[in-house]
Chain A
């Protein structure tokens, strides 16, 4: 390509950007029926925009959760039917990715809870996959219609306090089950000692994902901020949150599970020793 041709191409590209920008600001766009305050409040409380699910009015995150589960299970079924039967001793790239995924959570469980980790590995694998893909889910901006007939983009499932509480409490119950399985009633005592764990786990997850959601809502609310910035925001608050929160919750669960399931042997007193 000659130098002159390059300059013309660049000028056309910049001209198209400029024309589009002018068009965006001149047309003004549709008026938002919600103020930013209402949007932020609804993102936290979900008291306004609710969706009907088999006659129940639920938060959009519930729909997101079921959608994510549906997508993940469909993908898992396809992988199970078409990919896993073709596994080889020397793995292909995709096989390697799947093995790394399972190997990562298995390794995390084994290293943090070496005494007992069979069920823990399954749980942290599932929770990790759910948090990671659930957080990425908001990037796709799937639409749903509220009970008031307003279309909204489905949020990440765990940006809802109810989902975060559910996962936090489940993690706590899993930790307790490990304590009971290993140490019986003493395991319950050991787990109850960390009674703040379900609250801290739930609110850490909720806070981290909600902060991303709020910043994203804020950025998308103003059309002036809708150029270039969403790419950075999406990467920072979605991809990084997805990775960090997946690692934090699975690591904490396996760490506490390992702690309560550790079998302590009684130190017998030796006779004759003062």
Chain B
């Protein structure tokens, strides 16, 4: 039986044969290497992406750690400041106490010295009065009143000059 439209099984098979050769050839020569390259590039970008994500995660972690450290440092600074302030207060108190003690000592020393000076002045004055009294009494006994008086005046003037010099 003749097939219409000049359909020929042998030629159909020839076309199939030709197409199989073409498909195999194109697969090995073009499709496969290009597809492999496209896949490798996709993988390359995926790797880059995952690396970038990993770096981002590390950076975020580091940021968290840095923030925590900063927070800890603030606390440490506060503690140190409080401690330093306390130490400073104690030091000031100590210095004040020492200064007060020194001042009291200086005052008591000064007071002692003043007392000693006063005492020596009083003693010397008493001594002088006694000497003068002795001298007057001796004069009164030894000469007349005028002479005694003039001698007394001379003695007083001499003493005053001595005192002034």
Answer yes or no: A249 CB below 8 A from chain B CBs: no
Interface string of A217-255 (1 = CB under 8 A from B): 000000000000000000000000000000000000000
- Segment at the interface with A among B27-35, B68-76, B125-133, B145-153: B27-35
Q: Taking the complex as formed, is B83 at the interface, i.e. its CB lies under 8 A from any CB of chain A?
A: no
Residues of B within 8 A of A61 (CB): 15
Q: How far is the CA of A89 from the CA of B40 in the complex (A)?
A: 9
Contact of B31 among A47, A125, A162 (CB under 8 A): A125
Nearest to A72 among chain B residues (CB) is B22
Q: Please judge, given known A-B contacts A46-B6, A126-B26, A130-B22, whether A62 and B11 are in contact too, CB under 8 Å.
A: yes
1/0 contact trace for B119-149 toward A, CB 8 Å?
A: 0000000000000000000000000000000
Find out whether the CB atom of B30 lies under 8 angstroms from the CB atom of A162: no
- Complex CA gap A80/B5 in Å reads 40
- Which residue on chain B has the smallest CB distance to residue A79? B30
B19 touches A102 (CB 8 A): no
CB of B30 within 8 A of CB of A166, answer no
Interface size class of A (residues with CB under 8 A): 35 or more
If A84-B33, A162-B12 are given as contacts, then 6 extra A-B residue pairs at C-beta distance below 8 Å, sorted by A number, are: A45-B5, A79-B29, A101-B34, A102-B35, A161-B5, A166-B13
Give every chain B residue within 8 A of A56 (Cβ-Cβ): 10
Question: DSSP class of B's interface residues: helix, strand, loop or mixed?
Answer: helix
Chain B residues with CB under 8 A of A101: 34
Contact status B19-A80, CB under 8 Å = no
Query: Which residues B54-109 have CB closer than 8 A to chain A?
Result: none
Pairwise interchain contact B35-A106, C-beta atoms closer than 8 A? yes
Tell me which residues across on chain A come within 8 A of B34, comparing CB atoms.
84, 98-99, 101-102
Residues of A within 8 A of B30 (CB): 76, 79-80, 98, 102
Nearest-neighbour CB distance to chain B for A207, whole angstroms, equals 12
Complex Cα distance, B34 from A122, in Å, reads 12
Would you call B46 an interface residue if the criterion is a C-beta within 8 Å of the partner chain's C-beta atoms?
Answer: no
Q: Would you list the 5 A-B pairs with minimal beta carbon distance, nearest first?
A: A166-B15, A76-B29, A126-B23, A162-B11, A80-B29
**Is A59 in the interface zone, CB < 8 Å from B?**
yes
Decide yes or no whether B7 CB sits under 8 A from chain A. Answer: yes
C-alpha gap A123/B31 in the complex (Å): 10
Report if A125-B38 is in contact (Cβ < 8 Å); known contacts: A162-B11, A165-B7.
Answer: no
B21 within 8 A of A: yes
Check A47 against B6 for contact (C-beta < 8 Å). yes
User: Is A195 among interface residues, defined by CB-CB distance under 8 A?
Assistant: no
Closest to B9 in A: A162
A228–B38 CA distance with the chains assembled, in angstroms: 43
Contact A126 B27 (CB under 8 A): yes
Contact of B44 among A58, A89, A161 (CB under 8 A): A89
A69 contacts the other chain (CB 8 A):
yes
A127 contacts which chain B residues (CB < 8 A)? 19
